[in-house]
Amino acid sequence: MTAVVLITGGAAGIGRAIADAVVAGGARAILWDVDAQRLETARNELGENVRVERVDVSDAAAVQEAMGRIGDDWAPTHLVNNAGIIGRRMPLVDIDPAEVDRVFGINVRSAFIVTQAFLRARADHPEAAIVNLSSIAAGNGGAAGNAVYAASKGALQSLTFAMARELAPAIRVNALAPGIIDTDIQKDVFADRAEMDARAATIPLHRLGEAADVAEAAAWLLFRAAYTTGEVVTVSGGRK
């Protein structure tokens, strides 16, 4: 049967690259994002094998309503919890509790909400799988000033382990931990392109990652990693 992959944050960056990869592999994709313009671009470029909708995945009611509009013909069989933000850079002493709520709402709470909706609406598939997008920041604490982001990604990895135990053997659940990937979200971390390039020189593979690098790993976890669950796969060019 044809797989249908629901991808949150699917309009750009890593999410869009994953959509490109799964459609190229013969699956269909449902993209949820808050960027209506980029969603429309994805629909135009991917054609009949993609459906798009503007959805705030941190809003439980909005997620339930969007899932209810999908219909049986497009019931998802696979899920990628990719939606996420880095948030504002702040030293620990100045962290705003409202920013903690905002970052955790998008990076962690949304994974609970969307996964619940997916489990209630999904169609059976012999290779059913969920991939959560974490970060190497979950293990190394992230850049200075990004403690909230790092903590949220650590929480997402713990959720991955819990999901893998609870949903086995019907659904495999794994996480990806990208390093520095050359996407627009890095503008929230680096001051300018020169700083990004300087950081690239410190990576063992001597380059920043590309969204396609992460998408390739995601496609493997979604469709080909038949005996892999409860794992975190690092895609960082050797950066720790």
**Residues catalogued as catalytic:** 149
For residue 114, CA distances in Å to 65, 169, 227 come to 11, 20, 24
Question: What single string gives the DSSP state of each residue in 165-207?
Answer: HHHTTTSEEEEEEE-SB-SGGGGGT-SSHHHHHHHHTTSTTSS
Q: Choose among 162, 191, 183, 190: nearest CA to 174.
A: 162
- The residue type of 160 is T
The two tokens of residue 164 are: 């893998």
